Amino acid sequence: MAKCVNFLYLFVFFGCFAPFSQAQLKFGFYAQSCPSAESIVRSVVSDAVRNDGNMAAVLLRLHFHDCFVEGCDGSILIDTAPNPEKGAFGHQGVGGFEVIERAKEELESQCPGVVSCADIVAMAARDAIVMANGPEYEVLTGRRDGRVSDVSLADSLPDVSDSIQVLKNKFGQKGMTDKDLVLLSAAHTIGTTACFFMTRRLYNFFPGGGSDPEINPMMLPELKSQCPRNGNVNTRLGMDRGSPRTFDIHILQNIRNGFAVLASDARLNDDPSTRAVMDSYFSPLAPILGPSFQDDFVNSIVRMGEIGAKTGSQGEIRRVCSAFNSR
């Protein structure tokens, strides 16, 4: 596996993107305070993914959903608030909470009050990607856990039915670029979705009914057989047709060819900017002179991990990830 952090990357990240966040995150934040932190999280994630092959995708999605509401501060993990964020419509199907809690329990036994739940989420996503044959990379750490979790704060989450302009705007509001939108959407290379999220695209795409015309005619009958009208909306299907458990560029090829499962992925074809990003990975010279999909994905997910990060005296280090500390 390629090691995606190099001197050029570090120069670009800290030189060009420093204004993106006020957070003082750094590599190896726990090197002195809890040297075993990353190995503990890695061990817990490895066990979880071995027991459930879909868990890699679940933990990656959890990181995204945490960061896009109130920043990467573990707010999605809270159960005890009056109206916790995890109950938001846009968070439906998000899971992996028990894996994060298990890692937290082990960390508390080794380094009590040191490692934040927000950092565990970020590390777990990285380790999950590696378990799915994706790139290995270093995680910036030093986040603290937020003290706010409210369902109303999740209203601006990206949605599968959003237009490409809405998706671009939502990412832009978080300081993310059109390229980040493409690359983080490519995280759908692993995992499944529920038929619940397919109903509109397959049967009610237009006011009078009908399917999304961008669905490749070869795939439409397949999707309808997996998600029949009035069928079980909880049935799961892979988001990357052909390789739903391997982290690879196949998802972008599917999207370009009309084989996107999710409507929001298909919308990447609707805009010249996002389409050009996808095309850049498939030009004849791409294998030699073109951009690296895996390196670019790493850049985007590390950038995403800085969104709204709380550091220093902000927030807290929770003792239990699902509950704020009592004051």
Query: Would you name the residues annotated as active-site residues?
Result: 65
Q: Strand, helix or coil at 185?
A: helix
**H/E element, 194:** strand 192-194
Query: Could you tell me the two tokens for 46?
Result: 């490895």
Distance, C-alpha 222 to centroid of its chain:
27
The contacts of residue 268 (CB under 8 Å, 6+ apart) are 164, 181, 182, 185, 255, 260, 274, 275, 278
Helix (H, G, I), strand (E, B) or coil at 323: strand
Give the CA radius of gyration of the chain: 19
Of 307, 324, 312, 322, nearest to 63 by C-alpha is 307
Query: Three-class SS of residue 137?
Result: coil
Residue with tokens 């999220």: 197
**Residue 232 phi, psi dihedral angles, 5° rounding:** -75, 110
Q: CB atoms < 10 A from the CB of 284, how many?
A: 8
Secondary structure in 3-state letters for 102-145: HHHHHHHHHCCCCCCHHHHHHHHHHHHHHHCCCCECCCEECCEE
Beta bridge partners of 194: 236
